[in-house]
Amino acid sequence: MKKVIFPKNIEQGAKIALISPAGMVTEDQLQKGMALIREKGFEPVVGKYIFTKYNHGYNYAGTEKERISDLNWALNDDEISAIWASRGGYGSQHLLQHLKFSKFKKYPKWYIGYSDNTAIQSYLLKNNFASIHGQTIKTSSFGVSEDSYDLVFDIMQGEKPFYNVEKHLLNKNGSAEGQLVGGNLALIYALLGTPYSFKFKNKILFIEDIGEKFYALDRMLMSLELAGVFRKIKGLIVGGMINMGEEKENKNYEESFDEFACQIISERLKKYDFPVIFGFPNGHIFNNKPLIIGAPVKMEVSDNVMVQF
């Protein structure tokens, strides 16, 4: 296995590209995030098509060609030090066959996002580049904690996160070490069997999701099981499971870990003996603390629950 490449630390004044690889956004939805980037001492630079609207059965942020153009610009422009997705939604898979790494391979940079951005992060890791599974620039309806952003800036400047996690009744005790892979479960599922899927052998897998009916959640878990994923991984970290089943949108960020969704996951894992953490603070939730995809991570699950990079 080739060594994973971590981008160099960004410096004060660095330019951070903002792009929309999937769903559309409006300029007002990014004002707070852009202001925060400036407050932290960096310069936000928006992609040419970031606020484009293209309706084709879904409100995309531009045509596939336009979204690919912005992402390839951000990846390969010498003046850009990091890339931050405006939001997720749907559409990142469209871009995978057209990504260019001509200059990126020589001067890699952090890519930050979650949700649909899992597809891009999987592709980055296939090419041995780490990325940050963290809060997008657009603030979601459930809000976002200050830590969710502050910790992203900390990682980009060289710090490695350490998390103590609240104990969950469904946790499976044990410890494991390995490379962290994963992100949004729907995208992990959608990439199975393609050249862009994560590799799972001896990895620590992270999953989170939003708005899935319980049978759809179980279908995705069954696909992972039938693909042998659970026989290969060394540990599992379960993040936010919000607005699952028939529930309406959840406005209470403290209820971001649907109990029945966690029960379904737990039942599917009964025959496996790797450690499992439920309720990790990452996902479509208020307290969306960043993870480093591709980084070595240690997880310990007992009376104390810990995730350390």
Q: Within a 10 A sphere around the Cβ of 78, how many other Cβ atoms?
A: 8
For residue 112, report the phi and psi dihedrals to the nearest 5 degrees.
-120, 130
Cβ proximity of 88 and 116 under 8 Å:
yes
Q: Which of 115, 140, 148, 256 is catalytic?
A: 115
Cβ proximity of 140 and 284 under 8 Å:
yes
Amino acid at 168: H
Query: Looking at the chain, how many residues does it have?
Result: 309
Q: Helix, strand, or coil here: 4?
A: coil
Cβ proximity of 86 and 20 under 8 Å:
yes
**Paired residues of 234 in beta bridges:** none
What's 167's DSSP letter?
A: -
Please say if 115 is a catalytic residue.
yes
Q: Which of 208, 212, 256, 300 is catalytic?
A: 208
Supply angle C-alpha 4, 7, 11, rounded to 5: 160
Distance CA 254, CA 231 (A): 32
Q: Where does the chain have alpha helices with state H?
A: 31-39, 64-76, 118-126, 146-156, 185-191, 214-226, 229-232, 259-268
Please say if 208 is a catalytic residue.
yes
Amino acid at 233: I
Helix axes 214-226, 259-268, angle to 10 degrees: 20
Cβ proximity of 129 and 121 under 8 Å:
no
Closest CA to 287 of 164, 156, 167, 149: 149
Q: Which of 168, 256, 284, 300 is catalytic?
A: 284
Distances (CA, A) of 222 to 70, 150, 194, 229: 36, 36, 17, 10
Please say if 79 is a catalytic residue.
no
Give the residue numbers marked as catalytic: 115, 208, 284
